[in-house]
Amino acid sequence: MNVLTKTDPEIAKLIQQEDVRQRETLRMIPSENYVSKAVMEATGSSLTNKYSEGYAGKRYYQGQANIDEIEALAISRATSLFGADHANVQPYSGSPANLAMYVALAEVGDTIMGMALDMGGHLTHGWKASQTSKFYNAVQYPVDPKTHLIDFDVVRDLAKKHKPKVIVSGATAYPRFFDYAAFKEIADEVGAVCVADIAHVAGLIAADVHPDPVPHAGVVTTTTHKTLRGPRGGMILCKEEYAKAIDRAVFPFLQGGPHNHTTAGIAVALKEAAAPSFKEYAAQIITNAAVLAEGLMARDWNLISGGTDNHLILVDMQNKNLSGKDAAVALERAGIVVNANSIPYDPAPPFKPSGIRLGTPGLTTRGMKEEQMRILASVMADIVDAPEDEAVIAAGKKVVDELAEAFPIPESFVEEVSQAA
C-alpha cells in the first residue's frame, strides 16, 4: 500500500489496522468470511474505472468489449453452479436484490410475506423498519415458541388469510435447513410466487450440503459473500419466465451502472466454488458448527432450536444472567468476534438483546476443524461464565492467539481452480 500510504496515510493506517484485526482475531460472525487474493485483485482492479449501464451486448456507453465478457462469464458460472435458467449479477448487494425481486413480482401495495426479523428473518422480508413494509402490505410469519422451528401450518394459515403475491423463505438467524418444497406447495395453493433468499447459505447450496431451492422457487436472491466466499455483492437467479422482469427491475428501474470490479470478483468466486475443494470446505462448515454446538450445549449453553443444521448458531444467554451484548463484548476482549442478536420472542430490546449469533464459515476458511471447535467451545464457555475475570480473558486470548497463528488466512483456496468450470 505504498501509494495509498503516501496519498492518504490516515486511511492506509486504518486499513492496515483492520488487516491486523482480521488476522489476529477469530471472526465468528456467520455473515463474515475471507475472500481469496484472486477475488481481492479483481475487486481492486481497473474495472472500477468503467461505467456500463445496460446489459452485455446492449450498453449505453462504448468501450464495453471486456466488460461484456466478464459479465457473461459471471452469469454462465452462476447458472451452471446453481442449475438456474437465468442469473442477474448486477445487484449492488442482497437488499437491492430483494427490492428488485419485489419490483419484478408485485405492485406497490400488494401483500408480501416473509419471516419476521425478530424470529430470524431479514429486514427486507417486510419488517416494519424496512422500506419493504412501506411499499408493500407485509405479513410476517413466526417460528414455533417452543421448538423455534418454522410451523408450516401457521405459514399456510397466514398465506390463505392474506393471499400474498410473494412468499419469501430465508433468514439471517435461523439455524436449521429450509424446506423449500413446503414453501412452494403453500405458494401454489394461494397463487403466490415462491422466493428463496439464500444469502447466508448460498455456498452450502452450491456445494450440495444444504437443500436446494432452485427446483422449487421461481426466484432466488442472494448475496455473494458469506458462505459463498465472494465479494460484497448481490445476485438473482430465476426461472426463465421471470428473467425479463427481473432484469428490468434491476436496470433501469432501481440501479444505474453495475460495479464491474465486483462483477469480476463474483465471477472469480463462482469459479472457485466450482472446484472440488469447495465442497469439502462447505461440508466442513456444517461439521464444525455441529461440533461447536455440541461443545457449547455440554457447558449449559441454551441453543435456539436445540442445535444447528447449517453454518450458524443462535444462543439464548438468559440462563447465564448475561445480555447478548455483554457476552459479545466479553468474547471480543479475548479476540473472539460474534454479534449480539435477538432471539425468538426476546423479552429484551434489540440494542441489548438476549442472544448472540455465531458461525463457522471464517474459521473453516482458515482451515480449522473439529478439534479447534472443541477448544473454542471450552474457551467461550469459560469467558461467558466469568466475563469480568481478567485471568480468564487473558487465558482465552492466549488460546486465540495460538489458533490465529496456527491457522493463518489463506491467500488461495484451491490449487485446482484453473481446471474448474
Which residue type sits at 212?
Answer: D
For the chain, the distance separating the N- and C-terminal CA atoms, rounded to the nearest angstrom, is: 33
Q: Give me 274's grid cell.
A: 466450482
Question: Exposure string (b/e) for 173-184, b if CB count within 10 Å is 16 or more?
Answer: bbbbebbbebbb
Question: Exposure string (b/e) for 225-264, b if CB count within 10 Å is 16 or more?
Answer: bbbbbbbbbbbbbbbeebbebbbebbbeebbebbbbbbbb
**What is the rounded distance in angstroms from the CA atom of residue 255 to the CA atom of residue 249?**
8
pLDDT digits (tens, 9 = 90+) for 396-410: 999 999 999 999 999
**pLDDT the model gives residue 415:** 62
Average pLDDT over residues 374-381: 98
**What is the rounded distance in angstroms from the CA atom of residue 374 to the CA atom of residue 7?**
45
Q: Give me 88's grid cell.
A: 442477474
Q: At which residue does the C-alpha cell 454446538 appear?
A: 293
Average pLDDT over residues 98-109: 98
Residue 267 has pLDDT above 80, yes or no: yes
pLDDT digits (tens, 9 = 90+) for 198-230: 999 999 999 999 999 999 999 999 999 999 999
pLDDT digits (tens, 9 = 90+) for 46-97: 999 999 999 999 999 999 999 999 999 999 999 999 999 999 999 999 999 9
pLDDT band at 311 (very low <50, low <70, confident <90, very high): very high
Q: Which residues contact 279 (CB under 8 A, 6 or more apart)?
A: 207, 208, 209
Burial of 362 (0-12, 13-18, 19+ CB in 10 A): buried
Which residue type sits at 75?
Answer: I
**What is the rounded distance in angstroms from the CA atom of residue 269 to the CA atom of residue 33?**
12
**What is the rounded distance in angstroms from the CA atom of residue 225 to the CA atom of residue 231?**
5
Q: Give me 217's grid cell.
A: 422457487
pLDDT digits (tens, 9 = 90+) for 268-303: 999 999 999 999 999 999 999 999 999 999 999 999
Average pLDDT over residues 13-36: 97
pLDDT digits (tens, 9 = 90+) for 114-167: 999 999 999 999 999 999 999 999 999 999 999 999 999 999 999 999 999 999
Closest Cα to residue 44, out of 257, 234, 265?
Answer: 265
56 — phi, psi (to 5°)? -55, 130
**pLDDT the model gives residue 366:** 97
- DSSP H or E stretch at residue 194: strand 193-197
H-helix segments, 141-275: 152-162, 180-190, 202-206, 243-248, 260-273
Q: Three-class SS of residue 12?
A: helix
Q: Give me 231's grid cell.
A: 465479494
Q: How far is CA 218 from CA 114, 213, 241, in A?
A: 15, 9, 8
CA atoms within 13 A on the CB side of 284: 18
Q: At which residue does the C-alpha cell 460495479 appear?
A: 259
Beta strands in 1-144 (DSSP E): 26-27, 54-55, 58-59, 86-88, 111-115, 137-141
What structural domains and CATH numbers belong to the chain? 40-273 (3.40.640.10), 277-406 (3.90.1150.10)
- DSSP H or E stretch at residue 105: helix 94-105
Q: Give me 375's grid cell.
A: 477448544
H-helix segments, 254-341: 260-273, 276-298, 324-333
Q: Which residues pair with 88 in a beta bridge?
A: 236
**pLDDT the model gives residue 129:** 92
Closest Cα to residue 102, out of 81, 84, 125?
Answer: 125
Residue 363 has pLDDT above 50, yes or no: yes
pLDDT band at 332 (very low <50, low <70, confident <90, very high): very high
Residue 379 has pLDDT above 80, yes or no: yes
Mean pLDDT computed over every residue of the chain:
96
Q: What percent of the chain has pLDDT over 90?
A: 97
Catalytic residues: 51, 53, 197, 223, 226, 232
**What is the rounded distance in angstroms from the CA atom of residue 224 to the CA atom of residue 234?**
5
**pLDDT the model gives residue 419:** 45
Tally Cβ neighbours within 10 Å of residue 300.
11
Tally Cβ neighbours within 10 Å of residue 153.
10
**What is 332-347 written as a DSSP string?**
HHTTEE-EEE--TT-S
pLDDT digits (tens, 9 = 90+) for 407-421: 999 998 866 444 444
**pLDDT the model gives residue 413:** 85
Please answer whether residues 68 and 56 qualify as being in contact, where contact means their C-beta atoms are separated by less than 8 angstroms: yes
Q: Which residues contact 19 (CB under 8 A, 6 or more apart)?
A: none
Please answer whether residues 198 and 221 qualify as being in contact, where contact means their C-beta atoms are separated by less than 8 angstroms: yes
